[in-house]
Amino acid sequence: MKIIPKGLTKFNFSDNGSASVECALKMAFQYQYQCGHSRRTRFMCLSDGYHGETIGALSVGTLDLYAKIYKPMLMDTIQIEAPDCYRCKYGKCRDCCGCECFVRAEEAFAEHGDETCAIIVEPLLQGSAGMRIYPPLYLKKLRELCDRYGILLIADEIATGFGRTGKYFACDHAGITPDIMCVSKGLTGGYMPMAITITTDEIYDAFYADYSSGRAFMHSHTYSGNPLGCSAAIAVQGILQNTDVLEKAQERGVYLYARLMETFGDNPNVGEIRSIGLINAIELVEDRESKKGFDSSLRMGYRIYRNALTKGLLLRPLGNVLYFNPPLIINESEIDAAVERCAAAVREVL
């Protein structure tokens, strides 16, 4: 069974997500250079994006929490204001908009299109930004815009890949093929360090030439394609393809969302409950009307996390956002237990 988006055919193995992003950035840069576009030296990215913690990955990430102190070391990238559907500036909603916010991308491409080699995005889900979810239409438009300007589209599917969003890859929701796709986390089910940077024949061919031409991609890590990582990945892919794990996970994602709506839907301090596949997030607010968040000094998410721990539930807050990204094999009674404990922790802390 062919699972990756159509047209992605070539694989560069590595051992962690950040490494696969570094590989993607260098590959995009060198591809453009070898195609005669040596002016295309810059990268675009979305605000509040996260792509890992090595220097290149930090440069295309925009969260100060991880990057601030290293700013002088980082590449000068072009940031596009990301969609923020919960607090949409155009007064639209996630499921009924025309991606009005895409105008920010159009402006950036118009201004910097000829100096840009690639744009990197987390497709549909900006995880570290607070599990922010944006519509597939945005990705479709981005694919078209990239084609128009000759800019490569890099999809960082490290968090979203392998069934997390209800489809194999987040890009599948939009029916698009990126030029380069990074995968890691779910590739081995989290059991062994392993990552792949996947690309097209077209990009591969720009590197394939006589040794003496110097066009090769000089990029390797000692543990690239580590055999134990590879065999864990093969085993996990076998399970995903030969069992109903993904189907079940999709159903459980719907169930989890329904349980959260039932439990928190009327809570005046719950601004939004958002869901894509198994990933479900609750954004806490001080005031529902104004969508004003709790002051970060209150550390509301962290306090709820601490309280939940005493109940045997391990949450991982992102500021005022509590999220669930459980194992694909979670069952309904486990979901019930998690939601109940979370509700008790929220009640006690608030």
Q: Which residues make up the interface to ligand PLP (CB under 6 A)?
A: 16-18, 21, 50-52, 122, 127, 156, 158-159, 184-185
Distance CA 17, CA 33 (A): 25
The residue among 156 and 346 lying less far from ligand PLP, judged by its C-beta, is 156
How does DSSP classify residue 13? E
CB of 303 to ligand PLP, least distance (A): 25
| Residue 48 vs 341, nearer CB to ligand PLP | 48
Separation of alpha carbons 225 and 220, rounded Å: 10
- Minimum distance from CB of 170 to ligand PLP (Å)? 10
Q: Are 25 and 95 in contact (CB under 8 A)?
A: no
Residue 16 C-beta: closest distance to ligand PLP, Å: 4
Q: Is the dihedral of CA 172, 265, 83, 94 positive or negative?
A: positive
**Residue type for 152, please?**
L
DSSP 343: H
Least distance from ligand PLP to the Cβ atom of residue 63, Å: 11
Residue closer to ligand PLP by CB (options 188, 263) is 188
Coil, strand, or helix at residue 216?
coil
Q: Decide whether 23 or 284 has the Cβ nearer to ligand PLP.
A: 23
What do you get for the CA distance between the two ends of the chain, in Å? 48
Nearer to ligand PLP, 177 or 184 (CB): 184
The residue sitting closest to ligand PLP, measured at its beta carbon, is 17
Residue 21 CB, shortest distance to ligand PLP, in Å, is 6
Of 56 and 271, the one with the shorter C-beta distance to ligand PLP is 56
Q: Shortest Cβ distance from residue 174 to ligand PLP (Å)?
A: 17
Q: Which long-range contacts (CB under 8 A, 24 or more apart) does 225-232 make?
A: 225/13, 225/14, 226/15, 226/192, 226/193, 226/194, 228/192, 229/15, 229/188, 229/192, 229/193, 229/194, 230/13, 230/194, 232/188, 232/189, 232/191, 232/192, 232/194
